[in-house]
Structure 1
Amino acid sequence: MRFASSSNFRHVGEARGPGLPLRHLYRSDHLGALDAHDAAQIRALGITRVLDFRGVHERTSAACRLEGVTVHSLPIEPTIVQKLSELVASGHALTGADVTAHMQDTYRGFVRDSTPRFAEFFHHLLASDEPTVFHCTAGKDRTGFAAALLLKAVGASDAAVMHDYLLTNDRVRLPDASSMGLPREAMEVLWRVHPEFLQAAFDEVDAAYGSLEQYFAEGLALREPERARLRHLYLHAGPR
C-alpha cells in the first residue's frame, strides 16, 4: 500500500516468511500530514490504536490526523539532528562517516535510555490485537527498532527483520538538505537506514543484557508466555 501524504506507511513484516506480514499491525511515518483521502483509506483498515514514539515538540507540531483512534504517547526525544547541526555550526566539516557514527550511538541509546518505552510498546500490544499503527516522525529509526524487536519476539528470521527495516529506503523521501542546514552527504546517510545502525542496537543489547533473549525477559518483560501471546494475537489467523 502507498499513500501520497504518508510515504512510509506499511504492514509490519512486508517480507516473505511464515506468518508475515503480521496481522493488524502497521508501521508508519508520522500521521500529522495526512490528507483527507489518505486518512480515510487508513481508517478503512480498521485502525483504532496509535502508538506514537515522537517527542513532545514533534507531537504538538504535527498532531495525529486520524479520527476515532486512541493515541498512546511513548515519547523518545530526538537528538541526532540537533547534535549534527551543532557540529556544523561549530565549523565541523560533517561527513557521511560522522553521521554513521552518531546514528549508531543513537541506536545504542534506544537500548541504554529508552528500553522502558519499548516495554510500554509491548504492553499495549499484549493488551489486545486491535488494529494498530506505531510510528515516529520518519518511521525509520525509533519505529524501525520497535518493528525489529517485534519481529524477533514472534520468531521472524534475521533476514526478514532486516528486509522490513531496509524497506524504508524504498519509501522515505529525502528532504531538501538546505532545509535542515546539513550537507548533502550527511543527509544521504541521515535520511536512510543502514544495517550497521540496527546492528549497533543489537550489539548494545548483547553488551548490556548478555543476549537478546535476556533483553526480552529482563528489559522488556517478554518471557515465553508473553511471546506466545504475541504469536497468538499477531501471527495466527482466527477470531479476535
Structure 2
Amino acid sequence: MLAAPPALDATLPRPVPLAGCTNMRDLGGYEGHGGRRLRFGQVFRASSLASLTEADQGVLAGLGLRSVVDLRGVEESARAPSRLPQPGPAPVALPIEPTVGASLRDILATGCATGEDVLTLLARAYAAYATEKLPQYRALLALVADPARRPLAFHCTAGKDRTGFGAALLLLALGVPREAILEDYLATNRFWRREHALPEGTPAAVAEALTRAHRPLLEGALHRAIGDHGGEDAFLATALGLEGTRLAALRDSLLE
C-alpha cells in the first residue's frame, strides 16, 4: 500500500500585500531537503512591479531587497519599467522574450480561437523554458545562491509562466516535494488579479486559458527538462550548475 503524500501547509504561500502587484509572495515556509524549511524573507516571486504605489514601494523597502531580477523581454521592460524604491535593490535583467503574443494575434484573427489553441501556444513556451531558456534560469539560481544578492525578488509580467518555472526550479533544487511545487505554481490562480490587458474582443475561453496557471504545463516542462538530462541530479548539475557542493551550499544557505 502506497504511503499518503505529506499534507500541504494551507498557510502557504505567504503573499506580500501590495496595491499595484497582486501576485507577489514569499517563497519561504516550504519543507525541503532533510525536513528543513525554506527561510522566509529571502526569496520572493512576483508579477510586474511597474504599477507600484508609493505605499507599495515602502513595503518593498521594508523587505530589505538587495536584488530584483526582471525576466520580462527587453521591449516589455521598456514599455513598463519597474517602480522600485530609491535607494533600493539592484535591478538585474535576465530577459526571456515572450513568444505567445504574435501567435495569439494570429489565432484571434481567424475568429475561431479556442482555449485549447492557447494551451498549445503556452505549451510551446514552456518547452522553450525547459530547453533553450535554461541559461537564464541558471543565471537566476546563481544570483539566488549568492548571499550578497539576497533578499531577492524575481518577476515577469504576470508572475505566472516564466516566473512560475523559475520558482519551480528553485524549489526543486531545495528538495521541496513535487506536489508543493505544483501548488505554489497554481497559487497564481488565487492571487493574481489579471492586471495584464488582453486585446479587445478576446473570447472568454481564450482569456480564461491565457490568464490561468495550468498544472499540466509545469508538469510537462519539468518532465522535459529533467528527462533531457537523464534524471533530477544530472539536470541540477549540468543544466543549472548545481553539482554536489554548490547544491549543498544553496540548501544550507536557504533551509533552516
From 98, 116, 119, the equivalent of 1:100 is 119
| SS of residue in 1 equivalent to 2:69 | strand
How far, CA to CA, are the matches of 1:75 and 1:172 in structure 2?
22
From 106, 130, 155, the equivalent of 2:175 is 155
Larger mean Cα displacement after TM superposition, 175-184 or 210-219: 175-184
Q: In percent, how many aligned pairs have the same letter?
A: 34
Cα deviation, 1:183-240, whole Å, max 9, x if unaligned, reads 111110110101111012112214422223222111111112111111122112xxxx
Q: Residues 216 and 223 of structure 1 are in contact (CA less than 8 Å); yes or no, is this contact kept in structure 2?
A: yes
Q: In 2 relative to 1, CA 178–194 (structure 1 residues): closer, same or farther, beyond 3 Å?
A: closer
| SS of residue in 2 equivalent to 1:44 | helix
How far, CA to CA, are the matches of 2:192 and 2:93 in structure 1?
23
Q: Residues 11 and 21 of structure 1 are in contact (CA less than 8 Å); yes or no, is this contact kept in structure 2?
A: no
Query: What RMSD over aligned residues (CA atoms) do the two structures have, in Å?
Result: 1.9
Which 4+ runs in 1 deviate beyond 6 A? none
How far, CA to CA, are the matches of 2:237 and 2:196 in structure 1?
42
- How is 1:47-196 mapped onto 2 (pairs within 5 angstroms)? 47-66=65-84, 67=86, 68-89=88-109, 91=110, 93-128=112-147, 130-174=150-194, 179=199, 181-196=201-216
- How is 1:202-221 mapped onto 2 (pairs within 5 angstroms)? 202-221=222-241
How far, CA to CA, are the matches of 1:149 and 1:176 in structure 2?
25
Structure 2: give runs of 5+ residues left out of the alignment: 1-15
Larger mean Cα displacement after TM superposition, 197-206 or 16-25: 16-25
Cα deviation, 1:132-158, whole Å, max 9, x if unaligned, reads 101011101100000000001011011
From 14, 24, 27, the equivalent of 1:9 is 24
Deviation of the 1:75 alpha carbon: 0.4
Q: Residues 115 and 205 of structure 2 are in contact (CA less than 8 Å); yes or no, is this contact kept in structure 1?
A: yes
From 57, 63, 88, the equivalent of 1:45 is 63
Q: In 2 relative to 1, CA 165–176 (structure 1 residues): closer, same or farther, beyond 3 Å?
A: closer
Q: In 2 relative to 1, CA 205–164 (structure 1 residues): closer, same or farther, beyond 3 Å?
A: same
Alignment-mate amino acid for residue 111 of structure 1: A
TM-score scaled by structure 2?
Answer: 0.85
Instruction: Give aligned pairs, total.
Output: 235
The structure with more helix, counted as a fraction of residues: 1
| SS of residue in 2 equivalent to 1:204 | helix
Deviation of the 1:27 alpha carbon: 0.5
How far, CA to CA, are the matches of 2:63 and 2:121 in structure 1?
37
Q: Residues 158 and 194 of structure 2 are in contact (CA less than 8 Å); yes or no, is this contact kept in structure 1?
A: no
Q: Residues 22 and 192 of structure 2 are in contact (CA less than 8 Å); yes or no, is this contact kept in structure 1?
A: yes
Alignment-mate amino acid for residue 3 of structure 1: L
Deviation of the 1:21 alpha carbon: 5.5
Alignment-mate amino acid for residue 102 of structure 1: L
How far, CA to CA, are the matches of 1:176 and 1:127 in structure 2?
32
